[in-house]
Amino acid sequence: MAPRQKKTADPEPSYEKAFAELQDIVTKLESGEIPLEEALALYERGQGLAKTCAGLLDKAELRIRELGSPPAETPQDE
């Protein structure tokens, strides 16, 4: 018998992919032509994608701030 492979969490999608999917969901929800159950599932997925996008933007902003800040000065002996 072959060893079982461990299930790993899906990698976080790129911002661009997550945002594109979120836009698609918004378009579908705004159409008003989908059944309630599907709309609820899409809404839930959209909430997760919005959270993912916000987190990715926060990480990017932090990186930019870290890269843009001047190096910390170290006290020099006199």
Q: Find, among 46, 17, 14, the residue nearest to 30 by Cα.
A: 46
Q: Comparing 28 with 6, which gets the higher pLDDT?
A: 28
Mean pLDDT of 8-15: 76
Cα–Cα dist 55/62, whole Å: 11
Cα–Cα dist 29/42, whole Å: 8
Mean pLDDT of 45-62: 97
Q: How far apart are the first and last CA of the chain?
A: 71
pLDDT at residue 12, as a whole number: 79
Is a pLDDT exceeding 60 seen at residue 43? Answer: yes
Q: What is the dihedral of CA 9, 15, 21, 27, to 10 degrees?
A: 150
Is a pLDDT exceeding 70 seen at residue 78? Answer: no
Cα–Cα dist 40/19, whole Å: 19
pLDDT digits (tens, 9 = 90+) for 25-36: 999 999 999 999
The domains of the chain, with CATH numbers, are: 15-68 (1.10.287)
